[in-house]
Chain A
């Protein structure tokens, strides 16, 4: 068990990565063998992420360093002065992101087994899915800027391919192309920033770089490139336009993992702001940049959702708006870091807790939307109606996901938004007003979707539909369970996993640096 925990950071990447390349070969043995193989990999990954989380949170979120290949860790390397190597550094925030990724990968894979059963191209579908999962784990575990870029690119390639996977839909092809172009742009700017930092300091290791940064003009240019590139990949307004295209056109279970992918970019942004740059920049300025992006994202996302008649695009814009709440929580935390830390940490807890809650709620909504679209044979809400008569469980699951995401008590979305509202109100009541009003509007958006799809009289179109197979219902039920348990016992989860994650960013810069450099 100890050895597994010790090697968990690299296994979390290696298992899905090797699995991605082995899947087409296993697929030659048949769909059953392939699904068993993929299922075992995601189960193993979920187990490893849980083991790692227990280990890291049990130690209070203290960072642990894993050097690929093992051996005694020294800095700088005894045989030379170039600190380039494959190094993973896992603190509370990384472990927290690992849990989110594992949850969504597990449910998406098992939902896909039924969802994609009658479609062709399953081997490639699951191969890309595992590649994307490996990339996300890599992004959240790595302690090296260049490796972060490599994993970012792996996620970009896999995500764009999955968005355009349904080649028989011209909209999917167009969305896949747009996503590839925008992700490439983002990746290029991130690479340019890494190049600038490497050229100036000669390091790629995050801890070594953080220890060396001086706040020079070059550092600021690199920060601007990193911030904008990662905020775009997270889907922050006004750089979000690719997101509804991507979430809307990807197969439903892949839309869920695309949200986890966006959150990994958000993680990268937070890691860079708190750990890499930290006090070398004006935290107030950085915080307010995030807050402005957050308000735009929340408001534009939710108002655009209101006018959608395509069910998946509606959920997609809803998902975009939730990225704003995460940015708001962390932005408020950053803005008051130096002046009013008493509620800064609360804001951080809210923003980070919302990442987990959003993944569960949006994942559930995408799964339910996929089931509805498949049953109804249309994505157009104006063509749907009365589905709730035949799809009772799906309608209940959709309703739970919707009210939870909109922040209706006692579900999990309310718990995290409560912390965000309270802390942002202390900074400026205006922020809290926008956040609360937008949540109410999001509820209105989902009332529209629910009314249009599930309510109304039985029609000929809805007469022959039914709830999806148990293979699709069980992953939805699992996410409902997460939503209810996290909603009813938020204190437990905030104390044991959210606070260590928030503190890893908020207070953990020195610990992160010292874990690599010593001292």
Chain B
């Protein structure tokens, strides 16, 4: 009832969930061996930034959407230049892509007939 079989592989989410819970329990046990002298809100919990004081948190420090993956996007810049160029936002271009695909499909279907 729970699991799935593809004929060559098996997926059982209940077993996966039980395993996940088991890992959480083990993590909790390992955590319980930690330093009992931990005190919230003291110097123990300060972020270590090469000995510098942690800057005051504010909205300006938030890692914003475009800050993520800029390296990956930059690495794929050649791809993105082309793909963004397709997305012109111009209706006649949308229609041109449609007609282009239609022509290609016609050729394939006639050749395969």
Contact = CB atoms under 8 A, between A and B. Distances in A.
A104 B102 CA distance: 31
Nearest to A385: B62
A367 interface: no
- Interface size of A as a range: 35 or more
Contact of B4 (A221, A281, A426, A490): A490
Contact of A300 (B83, B91, B93): B83
Interface string A354-366: 0000000000000
Contacts of A182: 91, 94-95, 98
Contacts of B20: 410
Nearest to B58: A457
A384 B66 CA distance: 11
A31 B80 CA distance: 47
Interface stretch (B5-13, B22-30, B37-45): B5-13
B113 A307 contact: no
B85 interface: no
A215 B113 contact: yes
Interface stretch (A37-45, A142-150, A397-405, A446-454): A446-454
Nearest to B11: A418
Contacts, number: 171
Interface in B33-69: 57-59, 61-66, 68-69
A224 B6 CA distance: 32
A381 B8 CA distance: 42
Given A285-B108, A386-B62, A452-B68, A415 B11 contact: yes
A488 interface: yes
A238 B87 CA distance: 10
A178 B83 contact: no
B97 A189 contact: no
Interface of A: 177-178, 181-182, 185-186, 189, 215, 217, 220-221, 223-225, 227-228, 231-232, 238-239, 241-242, 245, 281-282, 285, 289, 300, 303-304, 306-307, 309, 342-343, 346, 380-382, 384-386, 409-410, 414-415, 418-419, 422-423, 426, 444, 447-449, 451-452, 455-462, 487-492, 494
14 contacts: A182-B91, A185-B98, A217-B110, A223-B109, A231-B101, A239-B94, A241-B87, A241-B97, A343-B6, A415-B13, A418-B11, A488-B2, A491-B2, A491-B5
